[in-house]
């Protein structure tokens, strides 16, 4: 996507689309007969985004699949960038993933209490811990009615919905998770920001502006309402314009924005003051330590040097450090340095 369209959180990071030769690529989906006395499940919404959005992304996914977890973070980033996209989640647990079916039922049980997407995010963040006991723990942490949640799991209340999605997947010829349909265009396997964003951008190019969803201004208060007392700043305090960014060192969109902000400050050296606010997103596991490192560098007068270095080298320590298995035979990728050691090395530069 073009960077100037979505300046507040940055443009789409241009990443090479990941290879889809993963252990999940040939998995067969679960075929489980629902309990004979199962009551009809109430509909649970698995849609994110505006119902007026001109672009619909249908994604068949598996909570126990690493490529699906990776793609979920990509989708979340895209939804933050534009209101012209809505996502419909479809359940496609693989038969070879022993905990996947119950995890999908748990997501729907959470959705019945208004917490589908919260449970969705929790399951992907903890996809190696999806036993029944784990699922009950997640329900408790989300503040769900545990008795109702446990009954739904025990009675397999929502299994028919999962099986309906599996039947739909089979009808569409879906054999790999994740598989996307973007306004009907099929994309097979995990997608990066560049590949998925390019398809969405090409579709939006053919949609008249009056058919797109207008951006909403969430807040328009004066900048002095934001507490900047302890925020790192660039530019003179007397500048008539204050630009405040809530940013995440592991966010690829934020990394693309960083050089844009530097160019802006060079173009308007006396007119703009830039303030940085720390906002590590929960799905970025390495981010909190990176923000702490920047603050530690700031204590020695080197916040901006560390800020620039973290964004410049994000591909080496951020989301790309966690690599999928490199081939269908299960070969592991090469080990990466511990992030703490990497940050200490950066501080010495």
| 57-116 per-position pLDDT tens digit | 999 999 999 999 999 989 998 888 888 899 999 999 999 999 999 999 999 999 999 999
Beta-bridge partners for 89: 59
Q: Residue 70 and residue 53: Cα distance in Å, rounded?
A: 24
Burial class (CB in 10 A: 0-12, 13-18, 19+), 101: buried
What kind of architecture, by CATH, is found in domain 3-211? 3-Layer(aba) Sandwich (3.40)
What kind of architecture, by CATH, is found in domain 223-348? 3-Layer(aba) Sandwich (3.40)
So where are the chain's domains?
A: 3-211, 223-348
Cis before 178 (ω within 30): yes
Smallest Cα–Cα separation from 17: which of 188, 255, 253, 203?
Answer: 188
The pLDDT assigned to 339 comes to: 60
Q: Residue 46 and residue 58: Cα distance in Å, rounded?
A: 10
| 26-47 per-position pLDDT tens digit | 344 444 444 444 455 566 789 9
Q: Where are the beta strands (DSSP E) in 204-266?
A: 233-234, 241-247
Smallest Cα–Cα separation from 68: which of 11, 123, 135?
Answer: 123
Phi and psi, residue 90, nearest 5°: -120, 140
- Retrieve residue 235's tokens: 């530019």
pLDDT less than 50: residues of the chain: 1-38, 216-224, 319-336
Long-range CB pairs of 118-121, under 8 A, 24+ apart, other chains included: 118/142, 120/63, 120/72, 120/89, 121/72, 121/282, 121/283
Please tell me if the domain spanning 3-211 has the same topology as the one spanning 223-348. Answer: yes
């Amino acid at each position: 996507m073009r960077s100037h369209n979505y300046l507040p959180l940055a443009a789409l990071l241009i990443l090479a689309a990941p290879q889809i030769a993963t252990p999940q690529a040939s998995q067969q989906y679960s075929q489980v007969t629902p309990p004979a006395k199962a009551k009809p499940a109430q509909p649970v919404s698995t849609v994110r985004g505006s119902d007026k959005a001109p672009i619909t992304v249908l994604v068949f996914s598996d909570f126990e699949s690493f490529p699906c977890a990776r793609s979920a973070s990509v989708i979340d980033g895209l939804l933050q960038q534009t209101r012209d996209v809505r996502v419909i989640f479809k359940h496609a647990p693989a038969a070879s993933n022993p905990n996947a079916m119950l995890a999908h039922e748990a997501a729907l049980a959470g959705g019945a209490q208004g917490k589908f997407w919260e449970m969705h995010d929790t399951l992907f963040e903890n996809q190696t811990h999806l036993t029944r006991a784990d699922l009950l723990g997640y329900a408790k942490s989300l503040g769900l009615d545990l008795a109702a949640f446990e009954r739904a799991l025990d009675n397999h209340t929502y299994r028919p919905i999962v099986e309906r999605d599996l039947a739909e997947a089979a009808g569409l010829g879906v054999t790999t998770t994740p598989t996307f349909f973007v306004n009907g265009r099929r994309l097979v396997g995990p997608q990066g920001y560049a590949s998925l964003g390019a398809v969405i951008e090409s579709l939006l190019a053919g949609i008249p502006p009056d058919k797109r969803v207008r951006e909403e201004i969430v807040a328009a208060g004066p900048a002095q309402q934001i507490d900047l007392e302890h925020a790192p700043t660039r530019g003179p305090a007397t500048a008539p314009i204050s630009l405040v960014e809530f940013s995440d060192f592991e966010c690829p969109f934020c990394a693309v924005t960083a050089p844009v902000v530097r160019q802006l400050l060079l173009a308007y050296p006396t007119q703009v003051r830039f303030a940085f606010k720390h906002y590590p997103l929960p799905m970025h596991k390495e981010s909190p330590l990176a923000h702490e490192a920047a603050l530690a560098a700031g204590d020695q007068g080197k916040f901006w040097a560390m800020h620039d270095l973290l964004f410049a080298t994000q591909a080496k320590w951020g989301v790309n450090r966690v690599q999928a298995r490199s081939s269908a035979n299960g070969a592991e990728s090469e080990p990466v340095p511990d992030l703490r050691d990497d940050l200490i090395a950066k501080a010495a530069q």
